[in-house]
Structure formats: C-alpha cells, structure tokens
Amino acid sequence: MKKPFLTVYLTPELLDLLVAQAKRRGVPKSTVAEAAIASFLTPDAAQQQEAALGRRLDRLNRHADRLERDLEVAVEMLALFVRTWMAATPSLPDAAQAAARARGRDRYERFVENLGRRLASGRSFTRELAFELEAATGDEVVDRASDVSRKDTGGARDEHPTS
C-alpha cells in the first residue's frame, strides 16, 4: 500500500535533529517523522495512567465528602441525644445508684449485642434515615444514602427496614 505524501516545513534545528536521528537508526527521515507524529497523536501509557489516576482521585474525593457528611450527622445526632438525655433525666438518689448501675450494665450489654447483630447484617442507620426522609417528604431528598442503599440491594428498595 502506497502512503499518502505530506510536505512539512521544519526549522533548521528540528531538521538537523530529524536527520541525526534517522542516521543513528539507519532509517529514512520519513520513518522518523512518522514515528514522531504517531507518538505525538496517540496517548502514551503515562497519559492513560494519569487519566485513570485522576478518575480514581475524583471518586475517592467524593467518597471522602460522603464520609465527612456522615460523620457530621453522627456527631450532631449524638450531641442532640446527650443534650436531650441530660435535660430530661433527673439525678437518682444515692440509695438507687447501685441498682441503676446494675441495670445500666445489663442494658449496655444488650445494646452491644444488638449493635453487633446490626453491623453483621450490613444494615445502616443512614440508609434507614434516607428511607424515612424520603417517605416523609415524598421526594428523594437524600440522594447519596438512597443511592448507596439501591446499589447494596441491587436496585431493590426496602421501604420499611427493621432493626
């Protein structure tokens, strides 16, 4: 197959480099020029890796943003709970302290057991919260959590999650 003909204008310095390279390789100048043009026009492995790395960094950045938001929600939820608990729970008399501590230990052990079962099942409070908010407003107001839950369930949605 005959290749099409192309005329190009080069600076004297670039032409000298082209001629020197062709002599070193023992090939025609057109072969060196063709290889140089092909190299310039096709992305090399480093450029492809850089693009893939950029996509991965973007994905990690979005994930970090979601984690930051989840942490903010958890901290605010805990602070609100503690504030409400402190405001609503009266102090116990000294005589009732021992019984209250024993009951508290039992309740804490049940809490830890329930938490372990919940974590082992893969259930998430943020997903359930997203469903509750969605049901309450009729909109998909919590896009991130509901998207995550749809991915986890293969697109199926559990409208009434139980713990």
Residue 72 has pLDDT above 70, yes or no: yes
CA distances from 22 to 8, 19, 115 (A): 17, 5, 72
pLDDT at 127: 77
Residue 90 in any domain: the answer is no
HEC string for 102-141: HHHHHHHHHHHHHHHHHHHHCCCHHHHHHHHHHHHHCCCC
With 80 as the cut, is the pLDDT of residue 100 above it?
yes
Q: Average pLDDT for residues 68-87, to the nearest whole number? A: 91
Average pLDDT for residues 13-21, to the nearest whole number? 95
Is residue 149 within 8 A of residue 130, CB to CB? The reply is yes
Answer whether residue 48 is part of any domain. no
Count of structural domains within the chain: 2
Q: Taking 90 as the threshold, does the pLDDT of residue 161 lie above it?
A: no
Mean pLDDT of the chain: 82
Q: What is the pLDDT at residue 139? A: 57
Domain that holds residue 156: 121-163
Is residue 32 included in any domain, yes or no? yes
26 assigned to some structural domain: yes
CA distance 68 to 62: 10
Q: Is residue 154 classed as helix, strand or coil in its secondary structure?
A: coil
pLDDT given at position 76: 92
pTM for the structure as a whole:
0.45
Q: How far apart are CA 159 and CA 130, in angstroms?
A: 10
Cβ atoms 127, 145 nearer than 8 A: yes
pLDDT of residue 38: 86
Sign of CA dihedral 24, 30, 36, 38: negative
- Asked, for residue 143, whether it belongs to a domain, the answer is yes
Calculate what percentage of the chain has a pLDDT beyond 90: 45
**pLDDT tens-digit map of 105-121:** 999 999 999 888 888 88
Flag whether 66 is in a domain: no
Tell me: the pLDDT tens digits for 118-143? 888 887 777 787 788 788 876 554 44
Please state the separation of Cα 78 from the chain's center in Å.
Answer: 24
* Residue 55 pLDDT greater than 90, yes or no: yes
pLDDT for the residue 150? 43
* Residue 24 placed within a domain: yes
Q: What is the CA radius of gyration of the chain?
A: 33
Residue 145 domain-assigned (yes or no): yes
* Higher-confidence position of 161 and 47: 47
Q: Are 49 and 58 a contacting pair, CB within 8 Å?
A: no
